[in-house]
Amino acid sequence: MSHQETMSKSNEHLEQNKREVPMSRAARIASIGFSGGLIWSSVGFITYYFNFVEWNPSFVLEAITTGDWRAGVLGTFIGILFISIISIGVAFVYSFALKQVDNVFGGILFGLALWGAVFYLFNPLFPSVKPVSEWDFNSIVTSLCLYILYGVFVGYSISFDAKEMEEAQKAEVKENYSSE
């Protein structure tokens, strides 16, 4: 065995020469969903803090728990975490229904539909959130924008990932075909 072959064998064990194991599609979707929920519910808290909207992200906890603690810092953090976890499921819904939509409009429409579902369909679960007809202009515009941005973030990320994986699979098939 030559010196170069020996060095090549010993270099295989170096971390810089190891290949990263790719995440599964489901793990990538879950990661996108959690990140989207974390980012945009945190931005939602900032909009609440600066009085652009009338409710804290902890309002989602009203559906599952009671107590004054929800209005405090702990309630806010748990609300943001809860939204992030729910967002994983929302991302899978987008992936199942709209992953092939590779433009921004799919995400915008998804965000608008989600806003409608949360504040019209599920509003009875959240007693502290007034009906939309009683909101001020700032709350309507700010919440619509947040949901649109969330929808675009999740939607475009999932669509981009699906397209990248499709192209990688095509390249792999082409590579395997040409090597035969």
What angle in degrees, to the nearest 10, is found between the helix axes of 25-49 and 73-98?
A: 140
Q: What is the pLDDT of residue 170?
A: 80
* Short-list 151, 137, 180, CA closest to 36: 151
Which H helix or E strand runs over 120?
Answer: none
Measured CA to CA, the distance from residue 159 to residue 149 in angstroms comes to 15
22-45 pLDDT per residue, tens: 789 999 999 999 999 999 999 999
The burial class, CB within 10 Å (0-12 / 13-18 / 19+), for 157 is: buried
Identify residue 46 by its one-letter amino acid code: I
Confidence check: pLDDT of 73 > 70? yes
Given a contact cutoff of 8 angstroms between Cβ atoms, the answer to whether 98 and 155 are in contact is yes
Confidence check: pLDDT of 4 > 80? no
Q: How far are the Cα atoms of 33, 94, 143, 151, 172 from residue 168, in angstroms, in the given order? A: 22, 21, 37, 25, 6
Q: Where are the domains of the chain?
A: 26-172
The DSSP output letter for 117 is: I
Sign of CA dihedral 23, 24, 25, 29: negative
63: left (phi over 0), alpha (psi -120 to 50) or beta: alpha
98-144 pLDDT per residue, tens: 888 878 999 999 999 999 999 999 999 998 899 999 999 999 999 99
User: What global pTM score does this model have?
Assistant: 0.83
Confidence check: pLDDT of 3 > 70? no
Confidence check: pLDDT of 166 > 70? yes
Q: What is the pLDDT of residue 1?
A: 57
Q: What is the pLDDT of residue 14?
A: 67
Q: What is the pLDDT of residue 100?
A: 82
Mean pLDDT for 83-89 is: 98
Measured CA to CA, the distance from residue 96 to residue 154 in angstroms comes to 13
Q: What is the pLDDT of residue 171?
A: 78
